[in-house]
Structure 1
């Protein structure tokens, strides 16, 4: 009980939707209850009908009403069942639709920082499993348990009208089924279900990580080790499921035994209470048979309860994902062209990390200016880009565009920034569709003009399918340099005033790198460019260079001035140019 209370104490996923669709839920439970009551009434009526027909076989007049009622209850049960299934799935699908929308919004809100807190497998597990688990919480736990308890109360009250001592005995016998068995299931099988969910979740995460590195497994000759890693959790899950099935068999047997005891109790009581006259004896079979149709929800109560630990973990995971959403500052709209980008005395540390990544960094970039950020790995270049884009917020200081904090301009981010990074993603669709992602309203002529600008027109038009060529997953149809040019065409179509180049040539050979940089700075000559790079190839394209060292600017100036005044810069430049052996 305490775990249930703690799970829902700060819940924003289950309880709000229970309240939102409460009347539809009431209808679902009513229809479910009426399904089993109709079935019980059918058996009750049939028991009386058979007894009365056997006692007076000479005249149908005595059994006419039971015959009509048998037909009515026989029709009512499937009608209520169909209506309950239709309504319950309608209810659940509405909730799941809201769930998925809420989940995708939560992932989108923190998409830029999610890799710092979650592995890819974690997110895939949440997207693939946890919403389905919460859906099953309603279908396999909430509905059966509530309907089972309502039937339990109905039976006890119904018997209590005739005899409270018998009703009390029935209450004790059925309590084993609706209370004791579910508690045992949670304690024994629930722990096993929870462990299985943990193994499955860890397997999801590790398998995703290992599949992403599958090439390295094969290259290193460790294919069998890779397969062994996958076999172990599969075997563990299979063993747990075997124990689960064994437990379910014994639990089902126990439920059936106690249910049989309730039937025998009812049979003995009715045999004593309704045998004083021949007409009263007709009710003996009626009362005894009425219990049989309601054994199904009683069986489902224990199974639904045993799955609660799985649902509990899923509820906690999705709440943890959405409840820690960062507070979004009030958004503003930039109505004038970008004139200046200012980094004002910025200091930054990641939460929970005492290491200072950037130390009192200041930088001013004017409209149309080209700037290169250089420095060894781990000096804060990527962090500075995140601050410029608004993915991170400075610990101290500010990042502004035209004096407006960048965090207040996130609604305009796609209109302000274009990004070309090391591995731009191309989707498994046509060249035209991939480029048009930069501007969904662009015409075919505008897309083709962008492709021509990045010097890919001859290549694309030489392909059999031309602009309708499928680029395949991750753009594998094209080389690294061609993929970068396709992404550059997308940025051209986007037509953002500020372009971020995050080491776009890091995986290219020197000749391809040189040609790509020449193309980039040529087609983006009227844009503001912030270029992160490790070396100085193509550095003559920029207006100023900033070296980051240990989180602070070490050298800064124009390429010409730095070459003249800084021996270190001159040595690096000549090394990249191949002038030093």
Structure 2
């Protein structure tokens, strides 16, 4: 199995197995003793009931079974509690170490982690993958090893009474322990993979379409989106239903095999311990009743084996992270400060997220000269935002290069903030004073510089009227300010940062048309002379740009000045007509 191959070269879980091996062995022993006591309790109870029903001549004849029944009756919950306490303590110690190692890895490679993983991958690593490994032991490893230990013990015990019957039970128990789990693993592997792909696809599409919900409404295509989303949901529900039907059918067959085992055991004990009542016949109920508690030990094995597909993905993702691999330049390598006019050069750029089969960007080439105003158009999911991350150096290209005056932008982190600033579509204001929010861009800025920046973005009078002025406490996320005001405050940060290149990542997408136009005019006035890179899917304000490029499915489809495209490019003409509602 693939998971065993991953364990051989695993650097996350295996080191801790040896470190906590005593607790691991104790947890497995206590798990074995839990089911042993449960089976022994039923064994003694069956013998005791049969022996007592035979009217023993002396109460001392059943005294030992009475004591053993009491002992095993107390031992079962005690061992169960101790096993749960030990196993969960072991797993929690293991996962705490894994989380610590994960945080250390992310801290060392924080900036360049996005080169290999999307934001969802980060969240998955922090919340899902570590939890999956926790379940790997609690729901798969511990139950499986405990069941195998009981299997060996039962076969040896029955073989001591009869070697041929021990061999027969070896084969019958093997159906539950090996055949059903292997069947579940093979039958549901493809379905589980399909379910995972569908869930990821739904999450991605839902996120993109929620962010772009205004476009769906304005284009009057909400019904189209809801129909497509419902179809995907129904497909996922069908896959889940198929998995559940298989599980129910398999679990029923497992119970049937256990019923067969009970009948076979009843037949063998009737043959092995003959008699109408009393004597050797007292052992019949003992052996038959002992089989029932073992159902709880063996029945979960199929589900445990089936879930190894989930654990395999988590283990593989974690092992892709190492403390020694980093996208950062070597410590002894220093990047010289960039001087003069800054030119961004994109050469045959390819980028592909590891979790996806399709490239987010492919063969993209363009040049952004100093002082140029470039608009990057494209639908949601076309690769615009990915390109913005690559331009700023947050991502490392899969192939090709993004260079600022000949230096790869990903190598400039964290110094990239000296050259490139970003105005996001949802600027965030923190729960602190207004002056602290503005000084995020420049810690050394004076109050006069703050007021100058506010005046340039048209907010000086608004802030001056506030009782505390710059010392005004901002609500969490800046909810006391309107959307346009929050964007202007973000623009003030850009002015205080005073970088030569500014990326505008759809900053007006959530604003009404009037506020949007006012913000566009303010941005163009206040950022005059700087290099502007406008990421958008709207055409409002594009006439102020020097160059427009259109990205479709990660590829450059058209480029030129807004005036040239409006005259000669039919696709751009169509976009203009749609944007104007013609």
Q: Are residues 260 and 144 of structure 1, via their aligned partners in 2, closer, same or farther at CA, if it must alter by over 3 Å?
A: same
Give the alignment of 1:226-375 within 5 angstroms. Answer: 226-275=225-274, 278-317=278-317, 319=319, 326-331=326-331, 349-350=348-349, 355=363, 357=365, 372=371
Shift of 1:231: 1.7
Q: CA offsets, 1:262-294, max 9 Å, x none? A: 223333333333347944433322222212111
Shift of 1:23: 3.8
Could you say which residue in structure 2 is the equivalent of 1:430?
431
> Gaps (5+ residues) in structure 1?
364-370, 522-528, 535-546, 551-567, 569-581
Distance in 1 (CA, whole Å) between partners of 2:393 and 2:321 is 23
Distance in 1 (CA, whole Å) between partners of 2:340 and 2:164 is 83
Distance in 2 (CA, whole Å) between partners of 1:377 and 1:230 is 28
Shift of 1:323: 10
Per mean C-alpha deviation after superposition, the further-off stretch among 504-513 and 285-294 is 504-513
Q: CA offsets, 1:43-73, max 9 Å, x none? A: 1222222223223456543333332322222
Distance in 1 (CA, whole Å) between partners of 2:403 and 2:204 is 37
Distance in 2 (CA, whole Å) between partners of 1:93 and 1:239 is 35
Shift of 1:179: 0.9
Q: CA offsets, 1:284-317, max 9 Å, x none? A: 2222221211111211011122233333344445
Equivalent of residue 470 in structure 1, options 464, 471, 475: 475
Per mean C-alpha deviation after superposition, the further-off stretch among 68-77 and 94-103 is 94-103
Could you say which residue in structure 2 is the equivalent of 1:558?
none
Could you say which residue in structure 2 is the equivalent of 1:81?
80
Q: Aligned to 2:423, what secondary structure does the other structure show?
A: coil
Equivalent of residue 459 in structure 1, options 459, 462, 465: 462
Per mean C-alpha deviation after superposition, the further-off stretch among 450-459 and 185-194 is 450-459
Shift of 1:39: 0.9
Q: Are residues 517 and 333 of structure 1, via their aligned partners in 2, closer, same or farther at CA, if it must alter by over 3 Å?
A: farther
Instruction: Find out whether 1:191 has 2:190 as its counterpart.
Output: yes
Q: Aligned to 1:329, what secondary structure does the other structure show?
A: coil
Distance in 1 (CA, whole Å) between partners of 2:188 and 2:40 is 34
Instruction: Find out whether 1:421 has 2:417 as its counterpart.
Output: no
Per mean C-alpha deviation after superposition, the further-off stretch among 337-346 and 227-236 is 337-346
Could you say which residue in structure 2 is the equivalent of 1:216?
215
Shift of 1:89: 2.9
Could you say which residue in structure 2 is the equivalent of 1:155?
154
Q: Are residues 449 and 103 of structure 1, via their aligned partners in 2, closer, same or farther at CA, if it must alter by over 3 Å?
A: farther
Could you say which residue in structure 2 is the equivalent of 1:49?
48
Q: Are residues 386 and 238 of structure 1, via their aligned partners in 2, closer, same or farther at CA, if it must alter by over 3 Å?
A: closer
Q: Are residues 162 and 501 of structure 1, via their aligned partners in 2, closer, same or farther at CA, if it must alter by over 3 Å?
A: same
Alignment length (residue pairs): 509
Could you say which residue in structure 2 is the equivalent of 1:483?
487
Q: Are residues 203 and 130 of structure 1, via their aligned partners in 2, closer, same or farther at CA, if it must alter by over 3 Å?
A: farther
Shift of 1:147: 1.9
Q: Are residues 50 and 211 of structure 1, via their aligned partners in 2, closer, same or farther at CA, if it must alter by over 3 Å?
A: same
Distance in 2 (CA, whole Å) between partners of 1:106 and 1:38 is 45
Instruction: Find out whether 1:173 has 2:178 as its counterpart.
Output: no
Shift of 1:96: 4.0
Q: CA offsets, 1:230-255, max 9 Å, x none? A: 22232223333333333223222221
Could you say which residue in structure 2 is the equivalent of 1:571?
none
Distance in 1 (CA, whole Å) between partners of 2:346 and 2:184 is 54
Q: Tell me if the contact between 1:374 and 1:532 (Cα under 8 Å) persists in the aligned partners.
A: yes
Q: Tell me if the contact between 2:453 and 2:495 (Cα under 8 Å) persists in the aligned partners.
A: no
Q: Aligned to 1:263, what secondary structure does the other structure show?
A: helix
Q: Tell me if the contact between 2:216 and 2:225 (Cα under 8 Å) persists in the aligned partners.
A: yes
Shift of 1:206: 2.0
> Gaps (5+ residues) in structure 2?
352-360, 378-383, 509-514, 535-545, 550-560, 562-582
Instruction: Find out whether 1:182 has 2:181 as its counterpart.
Output: yes
Distance in 1 (CA, whole Å) between partners of 2:430 and 2:343 is 42
Shift of 1:100: 4.8
Distance in 1 (CA, whole Å) between partners of 2:263 and 2:106 is 56
Q: Tell me if the contact between 2:422 and 2:504 (Cα under 8 Å) persists in the aligned partners.
A: yes
Distance in 1 (CA, whole Å) between partners of 2:329 and 2:337 is 21
Q: Aligned to 1:328, what secondary structure does the other structure show?
A: coil
Q: Aligned to 2:433, what secondary structure does the other structure show?
A: helix
Q: Are residues 338 and 232 of structure 1, via their aligned partners in 2, closer, same or farther at CA, if it must alter by over 3 Å?
A: closer
Shift of 1:318: 5.0
Q: Aligned to 1:468, what secondary structure does the other structure show?
A: coil
Shift of 1:159: 1.4
